[in-house]
């Protein structure tokens, strides 16, 4: 009986120990399963976090590329504007140089062109007895001779009109159109037979305080083929005066019709 009891006790002890080990094994298995479940449950979050980090990294790289492209575009824009500025400045410099050259050539041509003017007349009573001759003196103060010079000389006892109008259709009885040439720094006399008067006529004018007007116009060009046509107008008023020693003549330039080139446009 005692043996049976001991055997029964050992069996119970073994069963209890076995049950305990099974329970511990079951608990360990449950614990492992719980860890695995937690790990599996945490994997999607880790995957999403990794994806978020990768996306952020890609976005940062894209922003860097965009910023670099924008910087290059700005650099190209500034370079293009700089080229435009250089082109404008270069064009302005070339234009100013061209204008300076043109002005230099113009001034050189101006210095060399002829300048014809009439500022004096010559009176003579000794060439023909009983007759006074009037010579209009024309001077070229320029550096080249005149070319294609034509002139008109008129006399009248009334104030003259524009000699350029008379040049277009000159009255034969009081004027004459002729051609001539004046050398550089030279002077010529416009000796026109129609500008003389008998002494008796001048004496009568002196008694009546009359005035004789000598007027005319001169057209000419310079030596260049493309020369414009220059113009000079002149007018003198002659006053015969009786003196104890005889007849004398005084003269002055008229108020009108003494001009050159562009000054004659408004006259």
Can you read off the two tokens belonging to residue 190? 């416009």
- 131 with 28, same domain? no
pLDDT in tens, 76-100: 888 888 888 888 888 887 877 767 6
Spatial CB neighbours of 192, under 8 Å, sequence gap ≥ 6: 136, 153, 176, 178
Residue 170 is assigned to a structural domain of this protein? yes
Domain containing 169 equals: 115-264
Residue 109 is assigned to a structural domain of this protein? no
CA 131 to chain centre: 61
Confidence (pLDDT) at 15? 63
| Percent over 70 (pLDDT), the chain | 67
**Domain limit, last residue, from 82, 104, 126:** 82
- 174 with 127, same domain? yes
- 177 with 254, same domain? yes
Q: Give the separation between CA 153 and CA 136, rounded to whole angstroms.
A: 9
215 within 8 A of 234, measured Cβ to Cβ: yes
Q: Which of 132, 213, 119, 122 is nearest to 174 (CA)?
A: 213
- 127 with 241, same domain? yes
Residue 90 is assigned to a structural domain of this protein? no
Can you read off the two tokens belonging to residue 229? 């046509």
Count: domains in the chain: 2
Residue 12 is assigned to a structural domain of this protein? yes
pLDDT in tens, 100-158: 666 555 545 556 799 999 989 888 887 778 888 888 999 999 999 999 999 988 888 89
Highest mean pLDDT among 83-97, 179-193, 198-212 belongs to 198-212
- 130 with 254, same domain? yes
pTM above 0.85, yes or no: no
- 144 with 235, same domain? yes
**Domain limit, last residue, from 58, 82, 106:** 82
Q: Give the separation between CA 180 and CA 187, rounded to whole angstroms.
A: 11
Q: How many CB atoms lie within 10 A of CB 150?
A: 14
| CATH number of the domain to which 167 belongs | 2.60.40
- 38 with 128, same domain? no
- 45 with 147, same domain? no
Confidence (pLDDT) at 207? 92
Can you read off the two tokens belonging to residue 155? 């006399």
Confidence (pLDDT) at 130? 85
- 72 with 136, same domain? no
- 248 with 120, same domain? yes
Q: Give the separation between CA 206 and CA 249, rounded to whole angstroms.
A: 9
- 47 with 6, same domain? yes
**Domain limit, last residue, from 34, 66, 82:** 82
Can you read off the two tokens belonging to residue 213? 């007007």
């Amino acid at each position: 009986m005692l043996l049976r009891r001991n055997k029964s006790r050992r069996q119970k002890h073994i069963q209890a120990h076995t049950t305990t080990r099974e329970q511990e094994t079951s608990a360990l298995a449950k614990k492992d399963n719980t860890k695995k479940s937690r790990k599996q449950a945490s994997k999607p979050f880790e995957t999403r976090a990794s994806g978020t980090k990768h996306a952020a990294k890609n976005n940062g790289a894209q922003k860097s590329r965009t910023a670099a492209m924008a910087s290059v575009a700005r650099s190209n824009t500034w370079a293009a504007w700089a080229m435009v500025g250089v082109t404008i400045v270069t064009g302005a410099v070339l234009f100013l140089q061209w204008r300076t050259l043109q002005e230099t050539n113009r001034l050189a041509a101006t210095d060399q062109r002829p300048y014809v003017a009439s500022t004096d007349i010559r009176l003579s009573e000794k060439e023909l007895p009983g007759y006074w001759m009037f010579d209009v003196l024309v001077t070229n103060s320029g550096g080249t001779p005149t070319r294609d010079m034509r002139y008109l000389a008129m006399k009248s006892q009334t104030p003259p009109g524009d000699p350029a109008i008379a040049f277009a259709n000159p009255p034969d009885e009081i004027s004459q159109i002729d051609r001539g040439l004046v050398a550089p720094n030279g002077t010529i006399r416009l000796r026109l037979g129609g500008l003389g008067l008998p002494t008796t006529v001048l004496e009568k004018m002196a008694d009546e305080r009359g005035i004789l007007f000598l007027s005319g116009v001169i057209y000419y060009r310079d030596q260049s083929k493309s020369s414009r046509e220059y113009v000079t107008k002149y007018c003198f008023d002659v006053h015969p005066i009786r003196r104890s020693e005889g007849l004398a003549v005084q003269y002055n330039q008229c108020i009108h019709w003494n001009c050159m080139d562009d000054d004659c446009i408004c006259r």
